[in-house]
Amino acid sequence: MKRRYKFLIGVTATFVLLASSVTWLMATASGARWLLARAEPYLPEALAIEGVSGSLLAGLSAESVSWNDEAANVDIERLFIDVRILPLLSRRVYVDRLQVGALHSTDDVHRVDLQRQILLNDRDG
């Protein structure tokens, strides 16, 4: 009987620890920053993200997002993105809301294309 209780306590403790860890990752800013730090080695070198706040459940904000390479130099100030969580498990991203405070590009061709795409997508919604 004591063995059974020890086993149940162990399973319960493991479940509580796992649930707490997932909650921390999904619902806190520190969890989001920790996940971003783990993902950084897999992101392109041209991408820089700074000032992350918010959570995966409530939406993420970044003070600055930039892409700088030979083909394009794009800087975004005050980015907010709210994605659906479950599709991420199947390697898909569904964006519910995307807000950009300011968009800057040093390449006129890319700037016009980006502005046109944003305007077209804004009309669809």
List, as one string, the DSSP characters of the chain. Answer: -HHHHHHHHHHHHHHHHHHHHHHHHHH-HHHHHHHHHHHGGGS-TTEEEEEEEEETTTEEEEEEEEEESSS-EEEEEEEEEEE-SGGGGGT---EEEEEEEEEEES-HHHHHHHHHHHHHHHHH-
Q: Using CA atoms, how far apart are residues 77 and 99, in angstroms rounded to an integer?
A: 10
Residue 2 CA, chain-centre distance (Å), reads: 45
pLDDT tens for each residue of the chain, 125 residues long:
788 888 999 999 999 999 999 999 999 999 999 999 999 999 899 999 999 999 999 999 999 999 888 877 889 999 999 999 899 889 888 899 999 988 888 765 555 555 555 554 554 54
- Prediction pTM value: 0.70
Give domain limits for the chain.
2-124
pLDDT of residue 33: 92
